[in-house]
C-alpha cells in the first residue's frame, strides 16, 4: 500500500503575516490520524520561518524549485544543501510554469531532479501535457518524454527517493479538473512506463495529481487506484479547503 501525500504549492503568493496565519490554521486543523503525509512548498524567502513554525508538526516543508548544480557561480539558484540546512524535505521540479514561462527544458529538469536526489531532497517531478497536445492525441507521448528524460539520467531506482506529479497544464489554475478517469488513465500509463524498467519501484512510487484539485473533487480523484494524493495550487492558500483535501484521503 502506498501512503498518500498532499502537497500545497503556494506559488508566488503570501506575506509573512498571511503565511503565519495559514500555518497556524493548518497545524490546528490537521487530523494526524488520517493516513496522509502533508507538505507545503513555500517561496524560498519564507522557508526559514515556515520550517521554524512547522517544527514538531506533521507538516513537512518543501521548496518550489532546486538548483541543477551543487554550488558555485549560479546566480539566483538555491542548492539542495541549502534547502536541507533549513529543514526542507521536498522540492518541486519541472512544474509546468517553470517549463512554459521560464523555458526549463526536459534536460534542465532532469539535472535539477538528479541534484535534488544527490543532495538528500525529495524531488516532486511534475509532468503533464498542454491542451493542444491533449487534443492532438499526444498526451502519453509528451508525458513519456518528460519522464524518460529524468529516468535516463538518474535511473529508475532514483524513484525510491522521489515523487511524481501528473499536472496537466490545461487543468492548472483554470478551474478545469481532469475527470478522475482522465487522470487515472495517465497515472496508470506513468506507472506502466516505470514498471517496464522496474516493477517493484513502480508499485512503490507515489504519483500525485495536480490541476484544480478542490475541496469538492479531491475525494473522487484520490479514490482512483493509481492516484496517491495531490499537488494543490490555488486551494492550498485557503486553510479550510486545503485541510478538507488532506482529509479526503483514505
Ligand atoms: P492549481 O495548481 O491547483 O491552482 O490548479 C496545481 C499545480 O500547480 O499543479
Q: What is the pTM of this model?
A: 0.98
**pLDDT at 173 (0 to 100):** 87
**pLDDT at 103 (0 to 100):** 97
Say yes or no: CB of residue 241 within 6 Å of ligand 1: no
**pLDDT at 35 (0 to 100):** 95
> Ligand 1: which of 100, 101, 172 to mutate, most ligand atoms within 8 Å of CB?
172
Residue nearest to atom 9 of ligand 1 (CA): 210
Q: Report pLDDT digits (tens) over 156-166.
A: 999 999 999 99
DSSP labels, the chain: -PPEEEEEE--S---HHHHHHHHHHHHHH--TTSSEEEEEE--GGGHHHHHHHHTTSSEEEEES---SSSSSS-TT---HHHHHHTTEEEEEES-HHHHHHS---HHHHHHHHHHHHHHT-EEEEEE---HHHHHTT-HHHHHHHHHHHHHHHH-GGGGGG-EEEE--GGGSSSS-PPPHHHHHHHHHHHHHHHHHH-HHHHHH--EEEESS--TTTHHHHHTSTT--EEEESGGGGSHHHHHHHHHT--
> Ligand 1: which of 5, 97, 173 to mutate, most ligand atoms within 8 Å of CB?
173
Residues of the chain short of pLDDT 50, as ranges, are none
**pLDDT at 250 (0 to 100):** 75
Q: Which atom of ligand 1 is nearest to the CA of 212?
A: 5
Residue 231 lies in domain: 4-246
Helices 47-54 and 16-29: crossing angle in degrees, nearest 10, is 30
Q: Report pLDDT digits (tens) over 88-100.
A: 999 999 999 999 9
Cα-Cα-Cα-Cα torsion 232, 237, 240, 241, nearest 10 degrees, comes to -30
What CATH code is carried by the domain that includes residue 74?
3.20.20.70
Number of domains in the chain: 1
Residue 231 Cα, ligand 1 centroid: separation in angstroms?
7
Amino acid at each position: 500500500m502506498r501512503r498518500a501525500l498532499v502537497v500545497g504549492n503556494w506559488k508566488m503568493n503570501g506575506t509573512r503575516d498571511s503565511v503565519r496565519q495559514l500555518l497556524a490554521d493548518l497545524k490546528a486543523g490537521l487530523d494526524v490520524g488520517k493516513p496522509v503525509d502533508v507538505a507545503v512548498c513555500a517561496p524560498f524567502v519564507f522557508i526559514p520561518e515556515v520550517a521554524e513554525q512547522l517544527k514538531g508538526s506533521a507538516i513537512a516543508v518543501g521548496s518550489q524549485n532546486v538548483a541543477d548544480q551543487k554550488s558555485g557561480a549560479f546566480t539566483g539558484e538555491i542548492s539542495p544543501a541549502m534547502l536541507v540546512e533549513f529543514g526542507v524535505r521536498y522540492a518541486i521540479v519541472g512544474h509546468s510554469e517553470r517549463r512554459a514561462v521560464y523555458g526549463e527544458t526536459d534536460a534542465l529538469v532532469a539535472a535539477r531532479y538528479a541534484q535534488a536526489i544527490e543532495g538528500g531532497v525529495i524531488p516532486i517531478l511534475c509532468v503533464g501535457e498542454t491542451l493542444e497536445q491533449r487534443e492532438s492525441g499526444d498526451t502519453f507521448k509528451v508525458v513519456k518524454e518528460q519522464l524518460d528524460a529524468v529516468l535516463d539520467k538518474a535511473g529508475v531506482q532514483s524513484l525510491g527517493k522521489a515523487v511524481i506529479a501528473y499536472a496537466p497544464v490545461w487543468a492548472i489554475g483554470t478551474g478545469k479538473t481532469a475527470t478522475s478517469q482522465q487522470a487515472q488513465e495517465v497515472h496508470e500509463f506513468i506507472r506502466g512506463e516505470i514498471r517496464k524498467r522496474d516493477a517493484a519501484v513502480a508499485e512503490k512510487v507515489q504519483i500525485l495529481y495536480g490541476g484544480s484539485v478542490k475541496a469538492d473533487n479531491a475525494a473522487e480523484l484520490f479514490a482512483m487506484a493509481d492516484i496517491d494524493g495531490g499537488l494543490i495550487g490555488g486551494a492550498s492558500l485557503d486553510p479550510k479547503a486545503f485541510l478538507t483535501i488532506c482529509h479526503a484521503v483514505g
